[in-house]
Structure 1
Amino acid sequence: MATHLEQGAFGEKRALEFLKEMGYEIITSNWRFKNLEIDIIAKDNDTLVFVEVKTRKSNDYGDPFEFVDRAKQYALIRAADEYLFLSGYEGEIRFDIVSILHKDSVEIELIKDAFWSN
């Protein structure tokens, strides 16, 4: 497996563990629709949460969460719209980011309400 894929898999596994510890109920991970993907879909109390996981080995060029740019946000919103349509869910939703810096140790940051759909 390529290094960046291993890093991504490591980050998603750690994010799942972290979110469970934070009380999130994991619904699914790596949900796909055509070319769109949502890393984690979970419930936080009564809110359906779409989670993007960003893992980096260094923050020389910015913190991991800063790599969730407008284009990535738009893709996540489109994927979430498809999930909502297909599942029939009609409650509260939110977009969170789990930012993981994996240098000598692992630093995990949860950013709730990281961005909004239009």
Structure 2
Amino acid sequence: MVTTKDIYDLKLLKEGMRVTEFLRNSSSSIFLDELKKLNLIFIDAQQRVFLTGKGQVARKIGLEKFVELEEFEKELTTDNIRETYLRNNLYIILLCALNLILIAILIYINTQVGQMP
């Protein structure tokens, strides 16, 4: 979400203000939809807008910075999942190889013991 214009700011939102008033101040329903999609605001049955916990943090640090941090977190999580998946696959291959070596050693020992007089 790009928020280059000054009118797209969470500081315009007062807790409990009506959606129509918020739209009049921010002049964008797209902005309202983006805030809902990011779970920064909650709209109750009386069409009043409230900030969520994430929304309060976004208000304090700035909306653009918050969105950047969210995207960075998603990127880190995705990279970490791929890395963990590859590492786990490597461990499974290593475990299978060690099992095959152990089986070969046990078969060799068993055949040597069976040949003793």
- TM bracket, shorter-chain basis: under 0.3
Q: Between Structure 1 and Structure 2, which shows a larger proportion of helix residues?
A: 2
Question: Which protein has the larger Cα radius of gyration, Structure 1 or Structure 2?
Answer: 2
Q: Between Structure 1 and Structure 2, which shows a larger proportion of strand residues?
A: 1
User: What TM-score do you get using the length of structure 1 for normalisation?
Assistant: 0.23
User: What TM-score do you get using the length of structure 2 for normalisation?
Assistant: 0.23
